[in-house]
């Protein structure tokens, strides 16, 4: 496996950086890994490396580049967590989706790519992974504790590719009411699978943080890998 920073041209002009992890073998497919409110930090790069070791070409775009390039924050540092929320408030979701579309094109056209690309996002990235399902033709999408999905269920009719939502039962940023709305709004869509994990809060899959819960995180990861293998596979160049 090798890693590098690459530059992606934005659809609206300018460019932004991304972390790219390349497997040592021919990649099964591409994964766009979508950041939390904490930026492209050590945790996101580690997740990218792990997926690359599983055979995927993994790209982690810096979605905060218009606000502050190169943000890397620690969830367990109160000041840095607060800064993450400040950046979230200033973040333009529509521009973020456009940057993800540019990232999707970059991955599909990358020399070793099979042409098949999925997304996996956490927190803010979990919401954006939902939008990858409703606004793009990404081949498969996975949302971990995505925020505000309940407020955007009107877009669900546009979902054309498989989507997983991983929800923590005690998520302090996705209330039980919000979770009920999500389940009700998506229950009749055969492309959507929802998993709820009892007794865990937001960030249950964030390795090394105070919110990490090993059993739930490993179960969600196993489900995600099986899902990606099913829907991305080895693929063929398209």
Question: Where are the chain's structural domains?
Answer: 2-231
3-state DSSP assignment of residue 17:
strand
- What pLDDT shows up at residue 114? 87
Contact assessment for residue 12 and residue 98, using Cβ atoms and an 8 Å cutoff: yes
The residue written with tokens 């293998």 in the block is 229
Q: List the catalytic residues.
A: 171, 202
The CATH superfamily assigned to 2-231 is Alpha/Beta hydrolase fold, catalytic domain (3.40.50.1820)
How far is 43 from 208, CA to CA, in rounded Å?
8
How far is 68 from 66, CA to CA, in rounded Å?
6
Contact assessment for residue 56 and residue 27, using Cβ atoms and an 8 Å cutoff: yes
Q: Which of 46, 37, 100 is nearest to 72 (CA)?
A: 37
The pTM of this model reads 0.95
Q: What is the DSSP string of 159-216?
A: --S-EEEEEETT-TTS-HHHHHHHHHHHTT-TTEEEEEETT--TTTT-TTSTT--HHH
How far is 52 from 26, CA to CA, in rounded Å?
11
Contact assessment for residue 119 and residue 31, using Cβ atoms and an 8 Å cutoff: yes
* pLDDT means over runs of 10, the chain (238 residues): 97 96 91 97 97 96 97 95 96 98 96 92 98 98 98 96 98 97 96 98 96 98 96 58
Looking at the chain, list the stretches that DSSP marks H as alpha helix, in order from N- to C-terminal side: 42-53, 78-90, 93-109, 124-135, 176-186, 214-231
- What pLDDT shows up at residue 112? 83
- What pLDDT shows up at residue 27? 85
């Amino acid at each position: 496996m090798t890693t590098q920073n690459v530059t992606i041209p934005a659809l609206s002009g300018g460019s932004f950086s991304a972390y790219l992890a390349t497997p040592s073998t021919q990649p099964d497919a591409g994964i766009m890994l979508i950041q939390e409110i904490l930026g492209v930090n050590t945790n996101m790069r580690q997740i990218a490396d792990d997926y690359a070791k599983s055979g995927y070409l993994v790209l982690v775009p810096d979605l905060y580049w218009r606000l502050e390039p190169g943000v890397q924050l620690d969830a367990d540092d109160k000041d840095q967590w607060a800064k993450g929320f400040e950046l979230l408030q200033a973040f333009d979701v529509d521009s973020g989706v456009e940057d993800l579309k540019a990232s999707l094109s970059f991955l599909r056209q990358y020399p070793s790519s099979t042409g098949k690309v999925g997304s996996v996002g956490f927190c803010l990235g979990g919401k954006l992974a939902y939008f990858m399902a409703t606004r793009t033709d990404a081949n498969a999408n996975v949302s971990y504790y995505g925020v505000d999905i309940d407020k955007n269920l009107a877009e669900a009719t546009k979902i054309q590719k498989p989507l997983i939502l991983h929800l923590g039962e005690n998520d302090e940023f996705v209330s039980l009411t919000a979770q009920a709305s999500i389940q009700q709004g998506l229950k009749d869509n055969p492309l959507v699978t929802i998993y709820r994990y009892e007794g865990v809060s937001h960030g249950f899959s964030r390795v090394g943080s105070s919110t990490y819960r090993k059993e739930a995180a490993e179960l969600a990861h196993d489900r995600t890998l099986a899902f990606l293998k099913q829907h991305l596979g080895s693929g063929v160049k398209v």
